[in-house]
Structure 1
Amino acid sequence: MTTDTPFDDDEQLSLDLDLPRRGIALVKLEGRVFLRFDGSVDAAGLHVPYALVPSQGVLAKPSKWRKLDREARAALITERSTDRALRELHDHTLAFVREMAAECEEFGLAPMDFLHSLADVQTSEPAGAVFDRIRQRLGHAVERQREEQHAERTRQSISLAEYPASFEVARRMPRKFIALLGPTNSGKTHKAMEALAKAPSGVYLAPLRLLALENYERLLEVTQHGKPLAVSLVTGEERRLAEGATHVASTVEMLDSRTAVDVAVIDEIQMLADRDRGAAWTAAVCGAPARTVYLVGAPEARRAIEALAERLECPLEVHVLKRKGPLAMESGPVRKVQNLRPGDALIAFSRRDVLMWRDMVAEMGHSVATVYGNLSPEVRRAQAQRFRDGAADIVVGTDAIAMGLNMPIQRIVMTSTVKFNGYEEEEIPAPLARQIAGRAGRYGIHEEGLVAGFDGESHEVMRSLLKEKPVPLNTTGFAVAPTLEHLHRIAAVTRETSLARLLKRFIHNIDVPDGFFYPRITEDQMDRATWLDTLPLTVAEKFALSLVPVSTKVVSLQHAWEHWCVGLSKKRITHLRPDDQALFHMTLQEVEDVCRKYSAYAWLGYRLPDYFPDIELAQELSRQASERVDSMLQDQNTNARRRHHRRR
């Protein structure tokens, strides 16, 4: 017997049992011998032919069928092809057609797009399974239709062309931009801060907590009309709110777009191009509610600033500043630790390498300050102060020294020019090389700044990178991150409660008519959103938790974050339980991580204080952990120097 054809000796059997006249076919297909009933139903104005296998229509496998004699085959066919079986299949199909017609009418779909296949079903599966597959097809079609409707509603609810208009205070007030652009050590930030200090009111927006803290203290030293300025500090993890404050030092993500001021300073404006944080600078430029907005940063940001100013219809002044002291490459590499000298900054690109070089330098008898990204701002500051005060001869650090730490460095020495970018090891980009190198030769302290590689390869790569012409920032595609308001607007039109799907709709479906502004979220936030959707939390709670500034790559910190999330899902208040002695039994890495954990708790406490109320305790514990880290770094430095003296 061939496919879809009965065995040759069964053809006569089919005729003898009158199967063709009754609309019944004996078929071999997919390794089965079965009966297929042909017919049609009329319902809901539709005429639907069908050729389906009844629930008891499968007779046997071909191998077994061959072993049956004619009488046994005839008996089995007769048993399974009764008029009752025909009626049951007809009624079952009629009910299914009516069901599909009603479903399709509800969703505005054409039922015959799905029902036409009932007449040409090439399968041995019974009718019920065929109906289930068609229902599934309809379900997918409905879901596609809903997604298209949701996409359209999302586009209608949020258009990034109108993004600047969402900052109502900035939109209503006349604003002017002043760009102060130049390399490190050109005095651009100093000039902007002078203007801010003289203004009746203002805000400084920093890329780092450390910079916000430094300029907060700088503003506290200013007097106006014989009185000190009233200054507040606002970062994600800390609030120092002064009564009647006229000035605020803040991290850029903490922009207050509702309180009008006279002057705003947005520092490191080239961060507009940053892959993960650029959206915060876009928001600051569009939303800083100041009559005069200073945009401070690298010269390669000029075209991007000009494009934004034109789009926002804000007048723009551009001032390009030159470096106050010369910067030069050393004639050759340093090559030996013994050739390092006081005033050097040795740069490595990992915590492990920084500590390794710190020990090597200390064992040569030098006192060392240590700076890397995992350290809290307080520790970085304390270590930098040791170098400024002369208590440390040499600073060993990562590129963390390139932003926010003013130190009297005479020479930058690169131990490497290769850095892990989050995905792979690669040569550092020229802008970063320039920013690091620019820290050499502090104006007023050194006549010139010097740059060298520790080895020949690093030396030549730095020489090449410093000669590269800066590449201008793009003039379109400015990143916009979703706000809670954005997500609520999407949820209102789609009835969606999954944070991951809301974020995807923001990325893929909001209206970006000309690409000037472009939606961005981080991979880390998307990964967190997917996990958070497994918990019974509101969209607002999930959104806040997805942004907690704690590394998911550190197991202890990831576990702490998950504990907080689960606690909130159970509406449980999470208190801190300090252990005064615990810090003294931890490694340096563990104390650093504890410090970050307490800072993250404080960040969360400011956003969800009912469930994370121990904000002040978290800040105190973070301070204690920072002091312990600083003490451990100094002890390690001292021990390494003792080893040097014992060898002498």
Structure 2
Amino acid sequence: MPNPSPDRHTATSGDDINAELASYLARFGARLIHSNEAVAIEVTGELEAAQPSETPIAFRLVPDQGVLARITKWRKLDAAQRLALVQERLNPATREALHAEIGQFVSTVLRRARAAGLDAQDFLGALQSGRELASRRFQVVEDRLNNAILRKRSETHAEAARASVRLARYPETFDLAEGMRRRFIAILGPTNSGKTHQAMAALAQARSGVYLAPLRLLALENYERLLEQEVKVSLVTGEERRLTEGATHVASTIEMLDTTRAIDIAVIDEIQMLEDLERGSAWTAAVCGVPAKTVYLLGAPSAQPAVEALAERLDCPLEIISLQRKSPLGMEAQPVGQLKHLQRGDAVIAFSRREVLEWAAQISKIGLKVATLYGNLSPEVRRAQAQRFRDGEADVVVATDAIGMGLNLPIRRVVFTTAKKYDGISEDLLPPWLTHQIAGRAGRFGIHEAGHVAGFDEHTHRSIARLMKIQPEPLPRRGFFVTPSLDQIERIARATGETALAKLLELFSRNIDLSDDFFLPGNLLEQIERARWLDSLRLSLAQRFTFSLVPISSRVAVLNEAWQNWARNVANQRSCYLSADLEVFERSKFPLQAAEDACKKYSAYAWLGYRLPEYFPDAEAAVAIARETSERVDRMLAAQNHSQNRATARDDRFGGKHRHTPPRGGHLRTRRSVR
């Protein structure tokens, strides 16, 4: 019989080696797989459970050293080389190391899962997927476990937050008011109906009381009104204190309400602000928490359903007094059309600082003296500008919708330059309530027999006429906004163990107990955004909470920089001393804007000074400098309008022509919201 050929012998030897390879892999519970264009060893096994009652942990994994070669290279290896490579990567030592690695990992997962109250088997099943490296499957298990722990923690925190703050019982957090028998008197009516006069007369006669205003300017006006009637009254706003010894009354901004001093009468102005997403919570707190025997609620007729619902919820008797406007108000037959048709006693309404200044400049050029009012001006400047108009030093007032709240001016006619306002997102038609509020400033009772309303151009005139015919929608009877106090935030922190202010505010916003939705969390987005930055500093929770509420715009770079510097100084235990450079305005490219921003900065410093006096020792100086800077702003505005008048007179003297059409061809489009 002939000897087998060499090729036949090689094949037989290769088959034997392949069989030996298969047998070798079987001894270790392994097999060869093709994965990601490579050949690898997949090992199957089981770890004994630590306790008899526990299920063994099965696995099917590719050890990190189990990837043998790319497929193209593997094909070039003969059977003996393949066997040798497998034996190098898989042997008793490497198998034992794999078991030890898996065992250590599983032990860690079991411990963490038990600590979180989770079943580890829900995650360890991922070790049986096969065809993947052990390290990758470990990461999958860890990711799933971490997400589950976060969800569990979030659910636990949410439940703790719900248990710690129950908004359905919000009124009970005001102990003094809750224990009093209070009664409400709502005086509701349109602008120029005498609401404030009636309530303030009662307040002046009371033995003790408080006036709560939406604006510092209104608090100041009614503080002086009470002083004129020889009432011992203090002024308390966020940025200023004028304390009178033995004071029986307080005129205050609504956020500064003192809920710990019982009084006879409280006057809460502009009660329709309950619906305001940004500040409505201050009105909710005042209605629920002011400790007064009689509480006057002043506002628009649309607030009646909300007032009735609150009185019922608080179990307070309610009397409603409805007033009518004291002088008629009506649309003019035609739009104004041209600047030369503006008259003494007109109020020209635009909806941004830039638009107000542009209109004021153009109106000054036709020889009319102008006063200007917009939101970025300090209360002192607004007051001074309003006084110019009252005293006849200004013929026309150009204003934003800031004119619509509280300012009593001898306006004969309100002229809208546009019927749209930019709300920070889009430019939309004015809401009817705002149109009525602004238009209602025309025809001051006792000065003018009637009030008149017009649009500057034909389109605006028609739009305003339609809006004036629409009655504002009534306020809803539920969903009154509430923002957290420091006490509530600290309660959530104790219940959850959470220390980050941003997360605590989010827990309040998203997870507190709402029960019947009568009270709802207010808008905390800006406060949460500030808190995220503050959480990076070494500040106490109370300090972070205080800094998150500083009344300063984060959108203005110079103001945001000052705020951040103050916070860093406090975090480093350093006092913040006031430095004032009153000449910086003259060096600025935009001196008026710089001066306005400086007023805001000094006022914010004073606000902090009254709350953190150990770190902000110059609060009184800040108030004085803010007042001095406000006077400078007022002079700048007066000089700016006076220079336009002088330029007009010069043009007329030399035969020049001044414009009789509005800026930008008749209709100024609003591009940004009032600051």
TM-score, normalising length from structure 2? 0.92
Deviation of residue 16 (structure 1)? 4.6
For the residue of structure 2 that corresponds to 1:184, the secondary structure is coil
Alignment correspondent of 2:187:
180
TM-score, normalising length from structure 1? 0.95
Aligned match of 1:27 in 13, 23, 33? 33
8 Å CA contact 2:403, 2:438 repeated in 1: yes
Q: How far apart in 2 are the matches of 1:64 and 1:83? A: 26
Segments of 5+ residues of structure 2 without an aligned counterpart are: 1-13, 653-675
Alignment correspondent of 2:124:
115
Q: How far apart in 2 are the matches of 1:479 and 1:416? A: 31
Alignment correspondent of 1:280:
282
8 Å CA contact 2:61, 2:130 repeated in 1: no
Give the letter for the 2:75 counterpart: R
Give the letter for the 1:53 counterpart: V
Alignment correspondent of 2:75:
66
Q: How far apart in 1 are the matches of 2:106 and 2:453? A: 80
For 1:246-325, list aligned pairs within 5 A: 246-325=248-327
8 Å CA contact 2:21, 2:83 repeated in 1: no
Deviation of residue 416 (structure 1)? 1.0
Aligned match of 1:38 in 37, 44, 66? 44
User: What per-residue deviation string (whole Å, max 9, x for no partner) do you get for residues 399-453 of structure 1?
Assistant: 1111121110000011111111122211111101000000000001110000011
Q: Aligned in 2, Cα 1:540/1:59: closer, same or farther, shift over 3 Å?
A: same
8 Å CA contact 1:583, 1:625 repeated in 2: no
Give the letter for the 2:130 counterpart: Q
Report the aligned-residue RMSD: 1.6
For the residue of structure 1 that corresponds to 2:614, the secondary structure is coil
User: What per-residue deviation string (whole Å, max 9, x for no partner) do you get for residues 512-558 of structure 1?
Assistant: 00100001233221211112122222211111111111111111111
Give the letter for the 1:70 counterpart: A
Alignment correspondent of 2:618:
614
Alignment correspondent of 1:92:
101
Deviation of residue 64 (structure 1)? 2.2
Segments of 5+ residues of structure 1 without an aligned counterpart are: 1-7, 223-227
User: What per-residue deviation string (whole Å, max 9, x for no partner) do you get for residues 609-648 of structure 1?
Assistant: 1111110111111111101111011111111111111122
Give the letter for the 2:132 counterpart: S
- Is 1:53 the counterpart of 2:59? The answer is no
Q: How far apart in 2 are the matches of 1:399 and 1:427? A: 14
Q: How far apart in 2 are the matches of 1:299 and 1:123? A: 72
Q: How far apart in 1 are the matches of 2:154 and 2:60? A: 34
8 Å CA contact 1:43, 1:94 repeated in 2: no
Q: How far apart in 2 are the matches of 1:61 and 1:492? A: 57
Give the letter for the 2:431 counterpart: P
For 1:28-427, list aligned pairs within 5 A: 28-45=34-51, 46=54, 47-118=56-127, 120-125=128-133, 127-222=134-229, 228-427=230-429
Give the letter for the 1:206 counterpart: A
Deviation of residue 97 (structure 1)? 3.0
Alignment correspondent of 2:584:
582
For the residue of structure 1 that corresponds to 2:408, the secondary structure is coil
Q: How far apart in 1 are the matches of 2:458 and 2:489? A: 52
Give the letter for the 1:599 counterpart: S
Deviation of residue 469 (structure 1)? 1.9
- Is 1:626 the counterpart of 2:630? The answer is yes
Q: How far apart in 1 are the matches of 2:180 and 2:61? A: 72
Give the letter for the 1:288 counterpart: V
Give the letter for the 1:52 counterpart: L
Q: How far apart in 2 are the matches of 1:109 and 1:519? A: 32
For 1:446-485, list aligned pairs within 5 A: 446-485=448-487
User: What per-residue deviation string (whole Å, max 9, x for no partner) do you get for residues 183-237 of structure 1?
Assistant: 0000011111111111110000000000000000001111xxxxx2210101000
Q: How far apart in 2 are the matches of 1:343 and 1:96? A: 82
8 Å CA contact 1:43, 1:98 repeated in 2: no
For the residue of structure 2 that corresponds to 1:19, the secondary structure is helix
Q: How far apart in 1 are the matches of 2:15 and 2:361? A: 93
Deviation of residue 564 (structure 1)? 1.2
For the residue of structure 2 that corresponds to 1:20, the secondary structure is helix
Pick which of 534-543 and 331-340 moved more.
534-543
Give the letter for the 1:34 counterpart: A
Give the letter for the 1:22 counterpart: F
Give the letter for the 2:627 counterpart: R
For the residue of structure 1 that corresponds to 2:25, the secondary structure is coil
Aligned match of 2:605 in 594, 601, 607? 601
Deviation of residue 580 (structure 1)? 4.1
Pick which of 60-69 and 34-43 moved more.
60-69
Q: How far apart in 2 are the matches of 1:540 and 1:200? A: 36
